[in-house]
Each structure stands twice: as C-alpha cells, then as structure tokens.
C-alpha cells in the first residue's frame, strides 16, 4: 500500500517542526498539521493590543541547544537575537538588587560571591550529566536492548568521571529540595530567592518540595546546551524562532498545513494509519507523530479502546496542571524599577525577595486560590527589541507564580484579585508603573490550555518531576517516543526531556522514528 506521506506530525509547535525537519532531511515525506492559523503553538508572537506584540508563552530562550540551532540552520532561515547572555536581576524592594551574570554574582557579600562561583562550577559539571540525559532517548530498565545497556553505561561513566567527591555530591543533592540546598550554600535572601524561583518556574511546587534540585538542574542545564548564546531574546519574539524553524522545515521539503485541526488518529490493522481532520478530510500516512500532549494524544485523538487499561490508567495519572500565568502589559513609556538602571532593564527581573516569599506565593494554589503576593519573572522585551511596540512605548511580559489551573468557585473574581495583586506587587518595585499601563492581557493556565491546547495549561505538557522524568516520561510504555500502538509516536514536551523552547524532544523522536523503533 502506498501512502501519500511517510509521516504526519500533529501540531506545528517547535518540537513538531524540529522533528519534521530532521525526518525530511533523511528523505522522508512529512506533513505537519497545525490547528491554528499559524505555526508555533505556544512559541509564537501575538499582538495583544494594537501595535503591541509579545511572546505568547515563553519569552526567553533558556537553552536552545547550539546543535539544534546549527543543524537546522535557524540563523540562515532568518533567526536573529536581540540579546544574548541575558543577566538575571533579583529585585530588591528596599534598595540595590542582586545581579547574576553567567557564573558571577554581584550585590552580595564577598562570602556569597565566592560561594556562588563554587556552586556554579558544580552545577555546570552536574549539568553535563543532565544535558547528556536530555539529549538522548531514555533507555528502558526492564528488558533493555544492548544499545540501551551501552547508553546506560555511558551515563554511569559520565557520572563517575565527575570524580569521587562530585559524584557523591550529585547523588546526595539530586533528590533534595532547593530550599535546603540554597540555605546550605548562601546567606543573601535575594540570591536564594532568585535561584529558588529558577528551580520552580514552570513547576508544580515551591522550593521546599522534594525534587526541586532536579528542576533547578534541568534549568541550569539549558546553559550547557545554549553555550555562547546563554539566555537569549529572539528578535521579533518567540514567534521568530518557530518561523525560522518552519522555514527550515519547508526548505527540507516538509509540507505544512495550518488551520488543519486533527479530529482523530485513524487505526487500521492495529497500526496508526493516518488522521481525520475536523473538516472530515482523511489523510493517510505510514506513521503518525503527535506533538500534542500525551493525554490529548491518547485519550482524545486516539481513544482508550486502542490501548490497554494499565496504560490508560498511567496516562490518566500523568500530572499536568500548570501553575504559571502570563501577564502582558502595554506601557506608554519606559518603566522604572527601583535600583535598576536603564541599561539593566533588558535583563530578567525577578520578584522573589526571599525563600519564604516563594513558599507563601505557592501556598494559596494548593487550595485553588490565587496569591496575594505573587513571585514574578519580568522582561521588558522592547528595551532590546523596540519594534515590538510603537515608538517610545513598551511591553512588559511577566510570568506569574503560582496561579492554579482551577481558580476556585469564582474564577472571574479570582482573576480580578490576581490582576490587582500583581499590579500592587509591581507598584512596590516600580512605583508609578500602574499609571503607564494602556492595555493588558492575562493568560491563566486554563486560558493557556484553551489557547494552545496544552493539557492543564502546563508549559511542559505535564509536570517535570522525578516520577515523570526520563524513562518514566510521560509514562512507562511511551517513554521512548514510540507508543503501544505501532506507527504512533510522541514528539512533544510531554516526552523526555520536557518543555522549554529546546526542540530536543522533537529531535530525539525523529531519531527514534528513523531507527525504526516501533
């Protein structure tokens, strides 16, 4: 039977585009189907008020791997960066902030500065191991093949090569919480608060929860992948990244169709045989690769009747409830933050003055409530990229922690209260900011779910925690990108290594498909 396409990829987000490009370059005929009018998914740029544009989801590249950038030739396809090696600034409500630039911290006592340099060196070393894990297809621990045994040995060897002391330290801290680790190392509340925010941004918990050292390392490992790029801001917003990816994909021969929402995956002879679109159109392919989240892929697009109860139970238990909201503000002028000069305004500005602040910002979310003093990651993208707003005007793009997916019995009231508490918090750090706001847009996790189809509005399509990491991501039986149904693969953030605009899930999935793993 001849099929029009070798592979159909459901979802034109960054992982779908990356996967498509690698497959097309290997000679496969690939069709990408995107439900929205444009590719990009959550990695897109949107106009939230007339003339004001902003990255819809992630607003900074925190670990776009240098290999992916090079292999896909994204710069040749038009990707530019308005800023590289962006510094992190822990805002101080009372005075001078703490600034983290690479492995150097300023604004703290010498003792903390030295401790941070030492700490950063270990984290760099550990991130080598994490980075290796992120770049590979997870090996299975039950009935592994020989190549998987070798892969596992290589990881073991890498850990051993850290040296005895570092290996011991990695194994000691890997399961710990960030609160204890940071308290062991530092004095400065601002520094600890900033690092704790990094450990929990996009996660489902605050810094006292176990597993937050792992999430911290996952974020830190982005630096290893990104190399010289560091934390970067793409010119034109995140949509420029996926536009460049789409351009690379088309150049490789990938066909991309937008406005084509997949209704379900078709099955013939116990094998994925193609898709049916909302329009009723049927498209056949030798295999189907889903960039949708695992729950949507298996329970909505495929259906439980093609899967075993045990597997469906695991998918049903895959935890995916986002806790980060996104706030976009249009300003009629440049905002002023206490203690931050105009040059530094292009950095990441963090509102998390100490560890307890983060913990208290988290607590209400456990009870379906919004925080009265949220932790914030703020960027002013227009400082580096003035084209995003009319001349002289600015955009504030803010990640707000912790906003529950389920905002209680009065979501409209909770929304109002949340916006008020964010603005009140901002006012403490940037007096007079409120008066400059001309338009705003708040996207809570449930908005993000509706807007981009991500289950629970979760950045990573599912919590990145120990029990949902590596060979258990999303669940055993689908952790190697292949799924129980022959001919159906996963390539999205719900698979290893998770979300963030990295494209590694897409690349790992493409390798799996090319190796013919069923």
Q: Which residues bind another protein (CB under 8 A)?
A: 267, 270, 299, 303-313, 316, 477, 484
Q: How far apart are the first and last CA of the chain?
A: 19
Minimum CB separation from another protein for residue 144, in Å?
A: 15
Residue 9 forms beta bridges with which residues? 32, 289
Q: Which is nearer to another protein, 50 or 516 (CB)?
A: 516
What gap in Å lies between CA 220 and CA 494, rounded to an integer?
20
245: helix, strand or coil: helix
CA-CA-CA-CA torsion sign (168, 169, 172, 174): negative
Tokens 């990255």 -> residue? 55
Is the CA virtual torsion 373, 378, 383, 388 positive or negative?
Answer: negative
The residue (of 41 and 494) whose beta carbon lies closer to another protein is 494
Nearer to another protein, 315 or 448 (CB): 315
DSSP state string for 181-207: HHHHH---HHHHHHHHHHHHTTSSS-T
> Which residue, 281 or 316, has its beta carbon nearer to another protein?
316
Residue number, 269 or 341, with CB nearest to another protein: 269
Residue 365's φ and ψ, nearest 5 degrees, are: -65, -25
DSSP, collapsed to helix, strand or coil, labels residue 276 as: strand
Q: How far is the CB of 313 from another protein (least distance, A)?
A: 5
- Smallest Cα–Cα separation from 15: which of 223, 217, 245, 237? 245
Q: Which is nearer to another protein, 411 or 477 (CB)?
A: 477
CB of 307 to another protein, least distance (A): 8
The distance of closest approach from Cβ of residue 309 to another protein in the complex, given in angstroms and rounded to an integer, is 4
Residue placing its CB nearer to another protein in the complex, 29 or 140: 140
CA–CA gap between residue 144 and residue 253 (Å, rounded): 35
Nearer Cβ to another protein (189/477): 477
Q: How far is residue 409 from each of residues 324, 412, 455, 514, measured CA to CA in Å? A: 19, 9, 20, 48
If the CB atoms of residues 292 and 331 are measured against another protein, the closer one turns out to be 292
Beta-bridge partners for 52: 49
Q: How far is the CB of 285 from another protein (least distance, A)?
A: 20
Closest to another protein by CB, 17 vs 312, is 312
Min CB(263)–another protein separation in Å: 16
Shortest approach of another protein to residue 301 CB, angstroms? 12
Tell me the Ramachandran region of residue 470: left when phi exceeds 0, alpha when psi lies from -120 to 50, beta otherwise: left
User: How many CB atoms lie under 10 A from the CB of residue 453?
Assistant: 20
CB 140 → another protein: shortest distance, Å? 14
Q: Give all strands (DSSP E) within 145-281, no chain letters.
A: 233-234, 255-257, 262-267, 272-277
CB contact set of 146 (below 8 Å; sequence gap of 6+): none
**Please, what is the minimum distance in Å from the beta carbon of residue 295 to another protein?**
11
Quote the least distance from Cβ 320 to another protein, whole Å: 16
Rounded Cα distance, 351 and 319, in Å = 27
CB 208, CB 361: distance < 8 Å: no
Rounded Cα–Cα distance for residues 144 and 142 (Å): 6
């Amino acid at each position: 039977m001849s099929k029009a396409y070798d592979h159909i990829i459901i979802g034109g987000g960054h992982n779908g585009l990356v996967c498509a490009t690698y497959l097309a370059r290997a000679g496969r005929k690939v069709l990408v189907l995107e439900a929205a009018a444009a590719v990009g998914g959550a990695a897109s740029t949107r106009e939230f008020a007339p003339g004001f544009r902003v990255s819809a989801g992630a607003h900074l590249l925190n670990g776009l791997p240098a290999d992916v950038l090079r292999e896909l030739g994204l710069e040749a396809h038009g990707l530019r960066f308005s800023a590289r090696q962006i510094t992190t600034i822990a805002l101080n409500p009372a005075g001078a902030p703490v600034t983290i630039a690479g492995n150097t911290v300023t604004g703290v006592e010498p003792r903390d500065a030295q401790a941070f340099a030492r700490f950063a060196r270990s984290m760099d070393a550990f991130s080598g191991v994490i980075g290796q894990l992120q770049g590979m297809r997870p090996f299975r621990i039950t009935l592994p093949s020989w190549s998987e045994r070798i892969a596992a040995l290589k990881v073991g060897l890498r850990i051993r090569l850290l040296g005895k002391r570092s290996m011991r330290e990695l194994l000691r801290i890997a399961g710990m919480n960030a609160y204890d680790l940071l308290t062991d190392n530092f004095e400065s509340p601002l520094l600890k608060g900033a690092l704790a925010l990094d450990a929990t941004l996009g996660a489902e918990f605050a810094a006292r929860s176990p597993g937050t050292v792992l999430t911290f390392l996952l974020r830190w490992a982005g630096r290893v992948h990104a190399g010289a790029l560091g934390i970067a801001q793409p010119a034109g917003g995140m949509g420029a990244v996926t536009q460049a990816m789409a351009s690379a994909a088309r150049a490789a021969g990938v066909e991309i169709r937008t406005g084509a929402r997949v209704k379900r995956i078709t099955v013939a002879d116990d094998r994925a045989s193609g898709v049916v679109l909302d329009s009723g159109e049927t498209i056949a392919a030798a295999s189907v690769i889903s960039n949708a989240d695992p729950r949507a892929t298996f329970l909505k697009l495929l259906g439980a009747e093609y899967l075993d109860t045990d597997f469906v139970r695991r998918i049903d238990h895959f935890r995916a409830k986002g806790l980060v909201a996104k706030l976009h503000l249009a300003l009629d002028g440049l905002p002023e933050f206490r203690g931050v000069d105009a040059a530094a305004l292009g950095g990441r500005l963090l509102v998390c003055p100490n560890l307890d602040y983060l913990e208290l910002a988290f607590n209400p979310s456990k009870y379906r409530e919004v925080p009265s003093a949220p932790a914030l990651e703020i960027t002013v993208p227009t400082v580096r990229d003035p084209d995003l707003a009319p001349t002289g005007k600015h955009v504030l793009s803010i990640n707000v922690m912790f906003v529950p997916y389920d905002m209680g019995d009065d979501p409209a009231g909770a929304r109002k209260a949340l916006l008020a508490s964010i603005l009140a918090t901002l006012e403490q750090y940037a007096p007079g900011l409120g008066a400059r706001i001309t338009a705003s847009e708040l996207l809570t996790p449930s908005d993000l779910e509706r807007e981009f189809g991500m289950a629970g509005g979760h950045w990573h399509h599912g919590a990145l925690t120990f029990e949902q990491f590596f060979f258990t991501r999303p669940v055993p039986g689908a952790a190697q990108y292949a799924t129980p149904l022959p001919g159906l693969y996963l390539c999205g953030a719900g698979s290893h290594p998770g979300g963030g605009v990295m494209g590694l899930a897409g690349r790992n999935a493409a390798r799996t498909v090319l190796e013919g793993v069923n």
